[in-house]
Amino acid sequence: MAIQIQHVSFAYDGARSRALVLEDVDLTVADGEFLILLGPSGCGKSTLLRLIAGFDRPTSGNVRMNGNEITGPGKDRGMVFQDLDSALFQWLTVRRNVEFGLRVNHVVDHERKLQSDEALRMVNLSGHEDKLVDELSGGMKQRVQIARMLAMRPEIMLMDEPFAALDAQTRQMLQTQLVSIWSEVKRTAIYVTHDIREALNLGQRVVLMSAGPRANIKHEYDVPLDYPRDQTDPVYIKLLSTLSKDIEEEVTKVWS
Amino acid sequence: MVVEAERAPTTPMQVMRRLSGIWVSVVSVLVGLVVWEIVARFFIDPFFLPSVTSIFFGAVELIQRGLLFEHIAISMFRIIVGFALGSVAAIPLGLIIGSYLPVRQLFDPYIHFLRFIPALALTTLFLVWFGVGEVSKVLLVMYSTGFIVVINTATGVVTTHKNKTLAAQTLGATPWQIFWLVTVPAAVPSMYVGMRLALAGSFLVIVAVEMLAAESGLGYLIWTSKLYFRIDWMFVGIFLLGFFGLLTDYAWKMIGRHLLGRYVRETADY
């Protein structure tokens, strides 16, 4: 069991009457699993991811990794942020961004080169090492973020709607690339999205969250399909329609 | 990227475009001078607006008397030393104030109170405290530079996006590493802009101080020209202020582009 979330509730400090964003969430993520957190916007799925990352602490309950309680960020959990620019170091080249974690951890030169080369190859950025990140397209920026995470070889890869700001073609291409990276590195991946097709293209298991506040896990769906996902497969189509109905209920709750 | 192309002209086409840009500015200045000359000669009493040529001869006269270069040198010395020392003191302070809330709370009342007191109001006081020599003048420039740079540096630190710090934490960086490798570089653009504003502010302060309490400098030159009814000398002083202001600002911009290029990419383009 890579991640174990038990009875977790969360409210932001100083929130009015401590309105709960999450209430009594229970979830376990298996080693090496590709898990999707799916839900309407504002349902607290990013909040749950931030609790796993250790950026925030639960108001009650606990989040454990390999049995140990998570008390803060750590290099065993990598993170890819949704925003294209704010998480990258724009004064550094692509390679320096990817090597940032290796350098601060004093990884020796040849080892560092090896690990960053490998990460850059996996995201197909070989040949762009010397560019500054603001010379890159949105899709390439997200690949730099992914490579920066991969270079550290974290046990768990956390991704917060990393492709939401990209165009449909780039998004689809990166989804394919991400699946092949995941199959190569064999690490646990937890991926937040509001896009049902993206969830079905990537995940082995899809966890649907109810609308917030006091969000919780509504249903879980296994996706018993091989990669790359065939969007015409009857199982895929069935899941797509079930999930659509299920999520629509939650969206309606918010809007009515 | 257009910005990139302008910074480093590589193709002949880009060089041409760059040169023609410079020519537009040169022609603009020449036309301005000619219009001034005509207006001053034929339409306005030279007592109010001397012609360009008479200002030029006024400058020649000042050079022959051997004082002009001294005035320029002493003003520039006060500006540059005051600006440099002020920045050296202000940058570390701004970084610390921006990073640690207790330090910010400690200094904030002083900074936000003092920054509304112009250096001019303190001129006489500084003369009494630090004497009539160069120390008081340099300190006044330091004073005015310091506040602008402290506030801009601290703002740069505070506005560094949280995601950068969080990302560094997930990559295993220690707080000390995050400060030096993330916060400081992320604050460079606003430090740079703050220093550029402070440089312009230094001219303002030094001229006023030299008018009030100095025996040398461009401010002094402008002030004393009045006593001799030499409006052409006054214009020489005014012109030189604008010219050296432009020059130092240009120098600062070049430092930004060439030494801090990757930190201040957009900021150094205008």
Backbone angles phi, psi at B193, to 5 degrees: -65, -40
3-state secondary structure of A241: helix
Query: What's residue B12's pLDDT?
Result: 75
Query: What's residue B5's pLDDT?
Result: 40
Task: List pLDDT tens digits, range B98-139.
Answer: 999 999 999 999 988 988 898 889 998 998 999 888 999 999
Of A36-45, A233-242, B93-102, the range with the lowest mean pLDDT is A36-45
Residues from chain B contacting residue A78 (CB–CB below 8 Å): 170-171
Query: What's residue A77's pLDDT?
Result: 96
Residue A30, number of CB atoms within 10 A of its CB: 12
Of the residues B171, B179, B183, B184, the best mutation for testing chain A's interface (the one with the most A CB atoms within 10 Å of its CB) is B171
Query: What's residue B146's pLDDT?
Result: 93
Query: What's residue B152's pLDDT?
Result: 95
Q: Could you tell me if B259 lies within 8 Å of chain A, comparing CB atoms?
A: no
**0.90 surpassed by complex ipTM:** yes
Q: For residue A141, give the H/E element and its range.
A: helix A138-151
Query: What's residue B49's pLDDT?
Result: 87
Average of pLDDT values for A47-60?
94
Residue A70's pLDDT band, with cuts at 50, 70 and 90, is: very high
A182 close to A158: Cβ distance less than 8 angstroms: no
B133 Cα to chain A: minimum distance (Å): 43
Residue of A78, A83, A132 lying closest to B262 (CB–CB)? A132
Residue of B164, B263, B265 lying closest to A87 (CB–CB)? B164
**pLDDT greater than 50 at residue A106:** yes
Centroid of chain to Cα B68:
21
CB contact under 8 A, A79 and B172: no
Centroid of chain to Cα A73:
15
pTM above 0.90, yes or no: no
Low-confidence ranges of chain B (pLDDT < 70): 1-10, 266-270
CB contact under 8 A, B181 and A100: yes
B162 Cα to chain A: minimum distance (Å): 8
CB contact under 8 A, B163 and A91: no
Residues from chain A contacting residue B261 (CB–CB below 8 Å): none
3-state secondary structure of A248: helix
Residue A170's pLDDT band, with cuts at 50, 70 and 90, is: very high
Backbone angles phi, psi at B232, to 5 degrees: -65, -40
Average of pLDDT values for A144-152?
96
Q: Could you tell me if B260 lies within 8 Å of chain A, comparing CB atoms?
A: no
For B178, name the nearest residue in chain A, comparing CA atoms only: A104
What six digits make up the tokens of B244? 């050296």
CB contact under 8 A, B173 and A104: yes
B182 Cα to chain A: minimum distance (Å): 7
Q: Could you tell me if B263 lies within 8 Å of chain A, comparing CB atoms?
A: yes
β-bridge mates for residue A22, sequence order: A10, A215
Residues from chain A contacting residue B265 (CB–CB below 8 Å): 90, 132, 134
What six digits make up the tokens of A9? 């509730």
Query: What's residue A211's pLDDT?
Result: 85
CB contact under 8 A, A104 and B168: yes
Average of pLDDT values for A96-101?
96
Average of pLDDT values for A81-91?
94
Instruction: Please state whether B266 falls in left (phi above 0), alpha (psi between -120 and 50) or beta.
Output: alpha
Residues from chain A contacting residue B1 (CB–CB below 8 Å): 135
Dihedral of CA B84/B88/B90/B94: which sign? positive
A156 Cα to chain B: minimum distance (Å): 11
Centroid of chain to Cα B47:
31
Does A213 sit behind a cis peptide bond, omega within 30 degrees of 0 on the bond before it? yes
For A102, name the nearest residue in chain B, comparing CA atoms only: B171
Query: What's residue A161's pLDDT?
Result: 94
What six digits make up the tokens of A101? 């974690």
CB contact under 8 A, A89 and B188: no
Those of residues 154-193 in A touching chain B at CB distance below 8 A are: 154
B214 Cα to chain A: minimum distance (Å): 44
Query: What's residue A238's pLDDT?
Result: 95
CB contact under 8 A, B166 and A91: no
What six digits make up the tokens of B261? 């290029």
Residues from chain A contacting residue B170 (CB–CB below 8 Å): 53, 73-75, 77-79, 149, 154
A153 close to A185: Cβ distance less than 8 angstroms: yes
Task: List pLDDT tens digits, range B60-99.
Answer: 998 998 888 999 999 999 999 999 999 999 999 999 999 9
